Amino acid sequence: MQKKRFYIWMIILIISVIILGMIAAAIGPAGISLKELWKIIIGSNEMNRVYKTILFKIRIPRIILSYLVGAALATAGVIMQGLIQNPMADPYIVGTSAGAGLGATIAIVFNLNFKFMGLSTVPLFAFVGAVLAVFLVYQLARQGSKVPVVHFLLAGMAVGFLLGALTSLVMVLGIKDHYKIVYWLMGSLAKASWKEVYIILPYLVTGLFVTLYIARDLNLILLGEETAHNMGVNVEQLKRIVLITAALLTASAVSVSGVIGFVGLIIPHIVRMITGPDHRRLIPAASIFGGGFLMLSDTIARTVAAPTEIPVGVITALFGGPFFLYQLRKSRKI
């Protein structure tokens, strides 16, 4: 894609996400007209107080949180796929979701209740579980100072299965709150508030800064590890930076929303088909697209069967499952 066309596409994408956010804010069990929404946007004193409460305490924090979670998962997916050089890769393959799920399950089943740095026990244990899972996978895959990609993928799958089994065991041992655990493992933004927005924001900003900084090196590694090394890239150091950054982005998202799959798989692939493989364009475009995608998915989740709310992870799976099968079938034809 030419530079001028890329900028035009980005402007259209940003405007589309803003419009989508306004639509998401307007629709719901208590419908808000565009006239009322406009009064809120311009800060009119005639604003309905009930609508104001619904918007600023419920819908807007949830919309922003869905955008941030989607952007974090999509960005993590981009750099993981770039490192592994496989569009079928997903940040969850490193066991992050399984680690987060086990951590959250332990906190719920054993009714742990305390706070640390503003985090309550469930998101805190999910975050710690996710980071420990990635650390374990990295240590298992490491051979000396190197981390072979194939070993990393196999270690990620093995750890994911093991942690999933432990999660089931904890659920069986626990005799209550199965519904709450299952809801967490399916992903949900139903309890979104400004607190969750403030929790994930610094991790997303830091992650985006790091990924944009290493974008050129990710482009070079697409040419092969040996070629990238000959062109001055410290390949093993780059792997560590990518794994740590992807783990923190995914863990921060999981800690506030539960396990939401397929965003890190399908968004990078769709955006890559539009912008091309250059990570200097792919990373910002995928983060915006991913945020908009999860915002749309969450709007569908909370409105399509209202007043019952569907876990947003179910919606993303309905999008992502067929897409994954399509990619699998397409790869078999090559």
pLDDT at 16 over 90: yes
pLDDT given at position 145: 64
Report the C-alpha gap between 109 and 280 in whole angstroms. 44
Percent of the chain at pLDDT > 70 equals: 87
pLDDT given at position 87: 67
pLDDT given at position 112: 77
- CB burial of residue 69 (10 Å; 0-12, 13-18, 19+): buried
pLDDT given at position 46: 62
**19 vs 153, which has greater pLDDT?**
19
pLDDT in tens, 253-307: 887 887 888 888 889 888 988 888 889 999 999 999 999 999 999 999 988 877 7
Mean pLDDT of 121-126: 76
pLDDT given at position 117: 66
pLDDT in tens, 43-94: 665 666 777 778 888 889 999 999 999 999 999 989 988 887 766 667 666 7
Q: Which amino acid is at 40?
A: I
**113 vs 279, which has greater pLDDT?**
279
Mean pLDDT of the chain: 81
Percent of the chain at pLDDT > 90 equals: 18
Q: By three-state DSSP, how is residue 116 classified?
A: strand
pLDDT at 332 over 60: no
pLDDT given at position 106: 84
Under 8 Å CB-to-CB from 280, ≥6 apart: which residues? Answer: 212, 215, 216, 219
**177 vs 225, which has greater pLDDT?**
225
| Tokens standing for residue 26 | 């307007």
pLDDT in tens, 185-224: 777 787 788 888 888 888 889 889 999 999 998 888 888 8
Give the CA distances from residue 26 to residues 20, 38, 216, 225, 316, in Å, rounded to whole numbers and listed in that order. 10, 10, 41, 49, 22
82 closest CA partner among 262, 260, 283? 283
pLDDT at 184 over 80: no
* pTM of the entire predicted model: 0.85
